[in-house]
Amino acid sequence: MSKKVLIIGGVAGGASAAARLRRLDETAEIIMFERDEYISFANCGLPYYIGGTIKERESLLVQTPESMKSRFNIDVRINSEVIDLDTRNKVVTVRTKNNGTYKEIYDYLVLSPGAKAIKPPIEGVNSQRIVTLRNIPDTDRIKAYVDKEGTNSAVVIGGGFVGVEMAENLKHRGLDVTLVEAAPHVLAPFDSDIVGAMEKELFDHGVKLILNDGVKSFKDQESSVEISLNSGKTLVTDLVIMAIGVVPDTGFLKESGIKIGPKGHILVDEYMATNVENVYAVGDAIEVVDFVNKQATTIPLAGPANKQGRIAADNIAGLRTSYKGTQGTSIIKVFGLTAASTGNNERTLKHLNIPYKTITVHPVSHASYYPGGFMMTLKLIFNEEGKILGAQGVGSDGVDKRIDVIATVIRLGGTVSDLTELELCYAPPYSSAKDPVNMAGFVAENVLAGRVDIMSIEEFLDYDRENTILVDVRTETEYNNGHLEGALHIPVDSLRARLGELDKTKEILEYCQIGLRGYVASRILTQNGYNVKNLTGGYKSCLMSPLKPPCVVPAATSEKQSVDPDTQVVKSDTGKEISDYKKKQSDCGICSE
């Protein structure tokens, strides 16, 4: 006998479950309910349509009720909201836009209600000029505001992925944009030493950033909104985008007997099954297991939702497929930069008291002798056994594929040694003989093997100046271009001849530009009886750090200096190279010892 399956909600999770189930079972009766008009749309693309990068609105529509019917024989009922669920009698109550309320029975049920944007109970928050972005109607409303003559400014409240993407796209449309974030930094999945680059990119492109400050109240004016912040600062703008996060849309399940977590998320097992027989749940409304730390968490991302929908369908069809957790792998474009992350960040690991180590490298996106390469930053987080716990990257090119590779190694339970052994594509336009992923593995492996003792920027700021010697091992031109305050300058190529200048009774803290020459210096000093620490990521990490280590920057010289946008090499107006650290790091093998 054929089974009757009801699916509540479409988009990523529900639509994937429906299509997969039909491919597995041609005889099942499948009905999908969607309270709005659009069952499957590219919600990650909404900011880019508002910004004008995506030209056609229809490009956002992945599936329509008609296409789902013709290809998959699925009965899609739009403008139909499920308002009640009776799990004892296996009945849902549906409220329609035009035809009243009715009941529908089921054999199996898939819950994919998603989440809704948070609109906190702040004074004045219900102004017509304060909008959220979650679906196609929201998109249409925001785009109408932006297209309207007289809309010249916008304030984005919230510095998550949606908030930052909206800030960028509104700036592309020519608006004066301010982004307000209550936390000290935007983009919470990234640690502060990585996110600083994105904040600078926003600032450099004209987005005003207000960090560590929240909204106290809104006040409608004749043609604008006045925003009062907790700091006492006041902003006046034509449009406000609220992007402070989402909450699960599960209120209709209150009396259903389905177990709900403390923040309103549906609790499921590894088969996407709820505590009620034949009821499954997927997507942004469920609580999942963090793949790395194995704790319960919530990660509202499209990729996991699609996989969860597929797994729910498998289990309804009897395949017994399980979901093994979410890594939170994510990526964002911030004007000319790309930032990506996977696994846990330092903040999460500290909160859970999980011990970890980190290293930072600054490789070039492809062979440095081939034109057009860009420096990137890769941060690797791992434990004492070498298991990879997380990774983050930021740069102009090649960040996505490096984080994807590391995400794959994490999913397969790999270690930093596995990173060193990966055989990845190499040709000068695409990578180096030792890919940046290999380089990160080499550095981490050296740390675990005790070949080098590293120090983070945070640790550096707390070091004991009385009993240590700070040494800069870069070239003279690099040192003169800027260095850490109090650093003794001994270039690495002169280090062996000048060992007598260093006191063996004191700890040596040394650094180069990006950490590679520092490793060579560390090996020289360690094997000559010195107690040495190398600053991970070198001077480049100091410049990126929001902690602002004390640096000595020389006054302007008679030569105008600039950074070549392709090579990232500092040059004077005569074309002379001021900094040669880039060519020092190319394919030289100093980190593969």
Catalytic center residues:
44
Number of Cα atoms under 13 Å in the Cβ half of residue 209: 19
Beta strands at 80-86 and 91-96: parallel, antiparallel or unpaired? antiparallel
Question: What's the CA gap between 303 and 165, in Å, rounded?
Answer: 18
Alpha-carbon span 181 to 248, nearest angstrom: 22
Q: CA-to-CA distance for 61 and 45, rounded, in angstroms? A: 10
Residue of 311, 249, 330, 326 lying closest to 284 (CA atoms): 249
Closest to 123 measured CA to CA, from 16, 15, 224, 216: 216
The Cα–Cα gap between 158 and 243 comes to: 5
d(CA 164, CA 190): 13
If you search the block for the tokens 């209709």, which residue do you land on? 252
From 485, 71, 43, select the one nearest 302 (Cα to Cα): 43
Range 11-34 burial, b when 16+ CB lie within 10 A, else e = bbbbbbbbbbbbeebeebebbbbb
Residue 285 main-chain phi, psi, to 5 deg: -90, 0
